[in-house]
Amino acid sequence: MDKPQVNRRQILGGLAVAAGTTGVLGAGRAAAAATAAPAVPDMGSAQAPPITDVKGKVAYITGASSGIGLGIARVLHEAGAKVVLGYIDDKQIVEALAFFPPNDPRVLAIKHDVMDRDGWERTADEIEKKFGLVNILVNNAGVGLQAPASTGTYKDWEWGLGVNLWGPIHGVRTFVPRMLAGKQGSQIVTTTSTSGILPGSGAGIYTVSKIAAVGLMEELRHELRETNIGTSAFVPGLTATNIGRSEDYRPATLKNDGPPAVAPGARPRPAAAAGAPPPPQRAAPPADVPPAAQRPQDPLVVGRFVLDGILHNDLFIVLQPEYRQGVEARCNALLASMVPFKPLPEEMMRREYYRTPVFVQEIAHRKATQKRDIPGT
C-alpha cells in the first residue's frame, strides 16, 4: 500500500473517532470515514526509459551558461553526449565554455532567449544542422523574481511566467513534434523548484510558475507515456547558482517603474547601497557530509541526479527529501478535504477516477529502483 493511502486511512480513522467522542460528525459521515480506501488496481508498468545511455545523444540545455544548467551540461558531456548550451549572457558563456576542452566538436553554444517563440524553431534548426535531432531537451532557464502573487505587477507576471512557464511550453511545442517524427529515444526534463511542489516561500509569482511547470510535465507523462519520449519534472531545491541576479536580465520593457512589490504587511526589502559589501558567504559544510546532503548543493552533484533520472525515466527528480513533511502535509490537506459527507455509491469507486495510471505506475517504479549508486553524490 502506498504512503498516501496509509495517511488517508489515518485521517479517516481520526474523523471516525472524533465523531464517537464529540458528536460533531453525523452518523452517515462517521460511517463514510470508517470505510477503508479501495485497493489500488493494477495499472501496469511505468513507461520504460527511452534513453539508457547518453553517449552520442544530442542534448539541448537552456540557461546553461551558469549554475544548474552548466552543471547538467558538464555531466552529460562527461557521459559522452553532444551538448548544446543555450545562453543570453555573453560574458557568462565564455566562462562556461572554459569547463570544456577548447574547440570540442561535441559542444555548441547558442544565444537564445526562451521567451522568443520564433527563436525556438531557429535554434532547433541550427542544432539539427550541427548535430542532428535533439534527444534530450532540458528546459532549465529560469528567473527567481521575488514578487508576491498578491501585489506583483503585470510586468512581474509577464516576465516570471514568460521565462519559467512559457519557456518550457515553447520548448515542448518545438521539440515534441521533432522527437516523435525522429522516432529515437528522447527525454524532456524541466527544471522546477521546491516551490513547485510546496508553496509558501513568499515569492508568489515564482511559485505559480513552477507549480504550473510541474503540472506541464505530469500531463506530458500521461500524454506521451506510450511514445518514444520520456518526461521528468526536476525539483532541485537550494543550489549554488546566480539566480539571485535574475533582475539583471529582466528585459527593459518588463522593468517596473516603481520599487519592488511586497506582500501585504511585509516590510520592503532595502535596496543595496552603492559600494555596499556583498552578502556574507555561507559556511562550507562539514567534510563528513556527503555531497547529496550539502546545502546549497553543487551544480555538478545536481547534474548527476538529473542524468540518473534520465536513465531511469523518473517522472519526479527530487533532491531535497527534507521537504517531505511539508509536501505530505499539503497532500494530506487535499485528502482531508475530500472526505465524503455522506457515503459514496459503490459505482463511484471505480478505476477511472484515477484519471491516469502514471502516478500509480511511478510509485511502483520508484519502489523498485529505490537503491541507486549515483557516482559523485
pLDDT of 189 higher than 60: yes
pLDDT for 37:
60
In tens, the pLDDT along 37-68 reads 667 888 999 999 999 999 999 999 999 999 99
Average pLDDT over residues 10-24: 37
Q: 106-110, 240-244, 284-288 — which is least confidently predicted?
A: 284-288
pLDDT computed for residue 80 by the predictor: 98
Q: Of 119, 111, 61, which is closest to residue 91 (Cα–Cα)?
A: 111
Would you list the domain boundaries of the chain? 3-44+326-368, 58-256+291-323
Q: pLDDT value at position 295?
A: 87
Element holding 95 (H helix, E strand): helix 90-97
Question: Taking 80 as the threshold, does the pLDDT of residue 267 lie above it?
Answer: no
Q: Given this model, what pLDDT does residue 285 score? A: 64
DSSP-based helix, strand, coil % in the chain, nearest 5: 45, 10, 45
What pLDDT does residue 283 have? 62
Which of 204, 237, 212 minimizes the C-alpha distance to 323?
Answer: 237
- The answer to whether the beta carbons of residues 149 and 195 sit under 8 Å apart is no
Q: Return the H-helix or E-strand segment holding 364.
A: helix 358-368
Q: Is the pLDDT confidence value at 205 over 90? A: yes
- pTM, 2 dp: 0.84
Which pLDDT value is given to residue 13? 39
Average pLDDT of span 207-220: 98
What is the pLDDT of the chain when averaged over all its residues?
A: 86
Q: What percent of the chain has pLDDT over 70?
A: 83
For cell 552548466, name the residue.
70
Rounded mean pLDDT of 99-122?
97
User: pLDDT > 90: what percent of the chain?
Assistant: 66
**Is the separation of the CB atoms in 242 and 67 below 8 Å?**
yes
What's residue 257's pLDDT?
87
- pLDDT the model gives residue 157: 97
Q: How far is CA 344 from CA 10, 18, 31, 339, 347, in A?
A: 19, 20, 11, 10, 8
Q: Give the neighbor-by-neighbor strand order of the sheet with 82-87.
A: 107-111, 82-87, 58-61, 136-139, 186-191, 229-235, 316-318
- Categorize the per-residue pLDDT at 241 as very low, low, confident or very high, splitting at 50, 70 and 90: confident
Q: Sorting pLDDT into bands at 50, 70 and 90, what band is 15?
A: very low
Does the 58-256+291-323 domain belong in CATH 3.40.50.1110? no
Higher confidence at residue 348 or residue 255?
Answer: 255
12 pLDDT band (50/70/90 cuts)? very low
Residue 336, CA distances (Å) to 19, 39, 167, 344 in order: 15, 19, 35, 16
Q: Using one digit for the tens of pLDDT, what is the confidence trace for 112-166?
A: 999 999 999 999 999 999 999 999 999 999 998 989 999 999 999 999 999 999 9
Q: Quick one: pLDDT band at residue 6, thresholds 50, 70, 90?
A: very low
